[in-house]
Amino acid sequence: MNPLLINGSAGIPLTIIAKQDFEQWLSKQATSLQNWLEATQFSAKGLSLIPDSDGQISQVIYVTDKPDAYWVCGDIINQLPANKYLLSASDAQCRVAAFSWALGAYKFDRYKKNDKQYPQLVIDNPDIVASTLQLVRSVSIVRDLVNTPAADMMPQHLAEVMQQLADEFGGKVQQIVGDDLLKQNYPTIHMVGRASDNLPRLIDLTWGDENAPKVTLVGKGVCFDSGGLDLKPGSGMRLMKKDMGGAAHVIGLAHQIMAAKLPVRLRVLVPAVENAVSANAFRPGDVIKTRKGLTVEIDNTDAEGRLVLCDALAEASNDRPDLLIDFATLTGAMRVALGTELPGFFSNDDTVAAEITAAGLKVEDPVWRMPLYKPYYDLTGSDIADLANCGKTPFGGAITAALYLEAFVDEGISWSHFDIMAWNNRALPGRPIGGEAFGLRAVFEYLQQRFAS
């Protein structure tokens, strides 16, 4: 496939016009162009391809309500014939147009060939082209990982992806696999993954100057979730290849951090398992002693994500990072609260929470802070253990899950937890049905503002 974005100064002119400015723009155009738009009954909305005297496309106009919106070009790349189109606009508009243009062509084509020839967007700014392609690749990494069927995206495959990233950017990956998890005191990761032939593991990627500020990312890597012995119904299991969406997010975010060379000491922890059913599967009523030393009673084997995360968060706390962020496809309760397209997050740091929220609004990647309402912590209690892995009521389920996780983060560490869908249920411009990155751009924008400015 030809590159979707090109640095240069030659191509068919593409002009993006705000709808409220269209009449003023039109009044300044040649009579022949005005006649063409009138003859084609152009409604001052969407695309118009304007020919020259030879019948070739001389220019393209695109009229939209919001020319500076991040997804402004998410559809038009699929509407234009293959050619080179030169966008002349402000740097800010070029940046958002280029981003949505490139992601508008996204197709998951690992199993179904895509021979379509896409038009190319030409921008006369090499920095915008390069940085946009980095960001597009980060989002595409998330989408590709989530879209890949579980048979081809098990713990060992996640480890391969992380190793490839480390090799590309000069990082380092270590793994603790199978029964070694017990020897090195990661009992809950082992417990959840032990029923699968695909060995559970903790994948640990590090990169950057050891003396730089420490940023640690933790991602839920449940590569397929059957529900365990508390087996999901078929409808609930159908999309569980996406239950490693948290891992996909931190891998995609790690790519963006390393590609942008942020001055941080990055650590990425992915507890990767398959929650399968076998004779040695963990059971409702079992009690496990976690890495942190807290005991947890298993109320439901389908609440496995917080189990693998709690050992990883305990390990992440050992380094006392300046910033600890986890991503997880954790609860249906969050989807009930906010729907599937608005990711909720929790934070014990008011300043970080406010700045991430503001960063998300700036780059049109909105995130919504949810409350760590301390009185609900009692709902995670157990009669025979320190905690249960499910709340005593379905109400406030996203909050009780977050409070459970917070118990494994040491005091004084700035921690934020994203509970995400990782999937588009409907097609929107630049966002096809399937795997999706939610909150990635918001968090990266925040990290860039905090550490690179």
Sorted by where each starts, the structural domains of the chain and their CATH numbers stand as 5-124 (3.40.220.10), 136-451 (3.40.630.10)
End-to-end CA distance of the chain: 36
Percent of the chain residues topping a pLDDT of 70 = 99
pLDDT for the residue numbered 115: 85
Residue indicated by tokens 């084997």: 301
Q: How far apart are CA 159 and CA 152, in angstroms?
A: 12
Summarize the confidence of residues 349-374 as an average pLDDT. Answer: 98
Burial 350-359 (b: 16+ CB within 10 A, else e): eebbebbbeb
pLDDT at 391: 85
Separation of alpha carbons 46 and 16, rounded Å? 10
0.95 exceeded by pTM: yes
pLDDT of residue 110: 94
Report whether 306 contacts 290 (CB < 8 A): no
pLDDT at 1: 52
pLDDT digits (tens, 9 = 90+) for 53-86: 899 999 999 999 999 999 999 999 999 999 999 9
Closest to 352 (Cα-Cα) out of 442, 266, 263: 442
**pLDDT tens profile 426-452:** 999 999 999 999 999 999 999 999 999
Enzyme catalytic residues: 232, 306
Closest CA to 361 of 136, 35, 69: 69
Band the pLDDT of 187: cuts 50, 70, 90. Answer: very high
Distance CA 72, CA 66 (A): 7
Banded pLDDT at 375 (limits 50, 70, 90) = very high
Cβ-based neighbours of 125, under 8 Å, separated by 6 or more: 7, 91, 94
Q: Which residues contact 87 (CB under 8 A, 6 or more apart)?
A: 14, 16, 93, 94, 97, 98, 121, 122, 123
Average pLDDT value for residue range 284-310 = 98
Residue in the structure block whose two tokens are 């905690």: 387
The C-alpha angle with vertex 130 and arms to 125 and 132, in degrees rounded to 5, equals 95
Is residue 229 very low, low, confident or very high in pLDDT (cuts 50, 70, 90)?
very high
Bridge partners for 434 per DSSP = 424
Closest residue by Cα to residue 376 from 398, 399, 408, 346: 399
For 313-345, write each residue's pLDDT tens digit: 999 999 999 999 999 999 999 999 999 999 999
31 burial level (CB within 10 Å; 0-12, 13-18, 19+): exposed
Reference 252, options 135, 101, 132; nearest CA is: 135
Please tell me the predicted confidence (pLDDT) of residue 114. Answer: 85
Mean pLDDT of the chain: 96
Q: Span 266-274, mean pLDDT? A: 98
Rounded mean pLDDT of 289-298? 98
Contact yes or no for 90/15 (Cβ under 8 A): no
What pLDDT sits at residue 371?
A: 98
How does pLDDT run across 8-54, given as a tens digit for each residue?
Answer: 999 999 999 999 999 999 999 999 999 999 999 999 999 999 999 89
What's the rounded mean pLDDT across residues 403-415?
98
